[in-house]
Amino acid sequence: MAMLQFLIALDVTVVNVALPSIGAHFGADDRQLTWVVVGYTITGGGLLMLGGRLGDVLGRRRVLLSGTAVFGLASLLAGLAPSFAWLVAARLLQGAGEAVALPAAMAVVVLMFPEGPRRSRALSVWAAVASCGLVLGFALSGVITELLGWRWIFLVSVPFVAAVLAATLLLVPADPPTRRTSTDLPGSLLLTAAPLLFALGVVEAGEEGGTRPWLPPLALAGAALAAIAFAAVERRSANPLVPLGFFRNGPRVRANLATALLSAALSTSFLLFTYYLQDRQGLSPLAAGLTMLPLACTLIAASVLVPRLLGRWGARACALTGIGFTALAMAALAYATHLDAGPLAMVPAMLLIAAGLGFGIIGLQYAAVSGVTDSDAGIASGVQRAADQLGGATGVTLYVGIGFAPALSGTNPFVTSSALALTGLTAAALVAWRMRGTAAVP
């Protein structure tokens, strides 16, 4: 389970440093390149709750094997992509595979350990492995892109996916007999369509002198209609993605909302680091990857330290600390880019981002799965991951899309994007402050 989490986390960051190389190969600009990031995260986030539900209904081992196989196939297709459109389509398929596999994997981990110290340690290992994947993504992306080419950032996952499939067959017990029930496919499609249309509308709206002025308002209207239709479908569905009773747990709902807002800023920062180091400072992929090593090392330290503090402080205090670190990071990033400082000026912001991710996401993750049972473990883990991914994708779309819009070419895009992220982090802090019921882990 941890190896699968590692591969998915690796895939999140390994793409960032390679984006300029992908853009140069296909002739795609920064605005178009956001699709390589948000296409994957939106599809994955939108389908995650369906993946969680499928694990509960069809059997977690069965669903885990299917989703992992799709993820591996999509990685192969992305590495062999003959065009930019092909690459984006493969990334969409990668997100779908992750959405099916990851909730089943997390549910297995949660249910193996009872709530309390043992589950806290298990989730800490899970989060630490994800952090290691993020770390190696930063470290390896520049090396792989410069020495082997950007295609290998996708191809390198394929043999490890095969190992996960073999290990799952050998080590995860077979599913008990399950009772087949209907799943909420319409709800899943609408939940995925809404943010995809929103991303399309925001990205196209920022294009100066666009040849399709009708597309942004049409896409944004479609996103609003899809969101309204999703709410209507969930209210009437016999087996909704998220039962309405789930939203009666106030601390869990607030934890997921705060997760989305925090992830929006974190994902934005990763892209801003990449663009500034390579596009503004002219660093090679290898040099950019090496410059981001302090972030990687701090992330490892945070993943070791935070689980211990979680037991003393509680989830809410850890979450607020992480949000505060992230806000300081965005301010430091904006100031350094305003001065047009050199690459080393990014290091303080990177250290703060690593601390913000370590404290914030681990604290919010624990709060989001507090009180789960066998019947709703898949739903709770799916919602938490969906909040993380959809929040990150929405942040990249909105903050970076607006900041780098050609229509705002007279402004500093890094400062604009950072200011928008700070606004979202303020909201995240207010939400997390009201997150009761998450005392220190016993």
Q: And the tokens for 408? A: 């705002």
CA distance 182 to 252: 26
Q: And the tokens for 284? A: 């090679």
H helices present in 27-155, as ranges: 30-58, 60-79, 84-112, 117-147, 152-155
Q: What is the pLDDT of residue 161?
A: 92
Q: Strand, helix or coil at 28?
A: coil
Write the DSSP symbol of residue 412. Answer: -
Query: Which stretch, 68-77, 315-324, 398-407, has highest mean pLDDT?
Result: 68-77
Q: How confident is the model at residue 78 (pLDDT cuts 50, 70, 90)?
A: very high
Task: Give the tens place of pLDDT for each residue, 202-231.
Answer: 777 766 555 677 788 888 898 899 888 888
Q: Which has more confidence, 181 or 190?
A: 190
Average pLDDT over residues 377-397: 79
Query: Which stretch, 24-28, 177-181, 364-368, 425-429, has highest mean pLDDT?
Result: 425-429
Task: Give the tens place of pLDDT for each residue, 276-325.
Answer: 998 888 888 888 888 888 887 887 788 778 777 877 788 888 889 999 99
For the chain, give every domain's residue range: 2-173+239-433
Please, are residues 383 and 246 in contact by the beta-carbon 8 Å criterion?
yes
Please tell me the CATH superfamily of domain 2-173+239-433, with its number: MFS general substrate transporter like domains (1.20.1250.20)
Please, are residues 95 and 44 in contact by the beta-carbon 8 Å criterion?
yes
Task: Give the tens place of pLDDT for each residue, 243-284.
Answer: 767 777 777 888 889 999 999 999 899 889 988 998 888 888
- Nearest of 389, 384, 332, 391 to residue 363 by alpha carbon: 384
Q: What is the pLDDT of residue 179?
A: 62
Task: Give the tens place of pLDDT for each residue, 103-147.
Answer: 888 777 777 777 777 777 777 777 677 767 766 776 777 788 888
CA distance 11 to 5: 10
Q: Which residues contact 218 (CB under 8 A, 6 or more apart)?
A: 201
Average pLDDT over residues 324-343: 93
Please, are residues 51 and 8 in contact by the beta-carbon 8 Å criterion?
no
Q: What is the pLDDT of residue 68?
A: 93
Backbone angles phi, psi at 318, to 5 degrees: -65, -40
Place of tokens 């059997």: 59
pTM of the predicted model as reported, rounded to 2 decimal places: 0.78
Q: And the tokens for 376? A: 């709703």
Please, are residues 107 and 55 in contact by the beta-carbon 8 Å criterion?
yes
Q: How confident is the model at residue 439 (pLDDT cuts 50, 70, 90)?
A: very low
Q: And the tokens for 329? A: 């990071």
Task: Show contacts of 113-121: CB within 8 Å, 24+ apart.
Answer: 115/370, 115/371, 115/372, 116/441, 116/442, 117/311, 117/441, 117/442, 120/307, 120/310, 120/311, 120/366, 120/441, 121/307
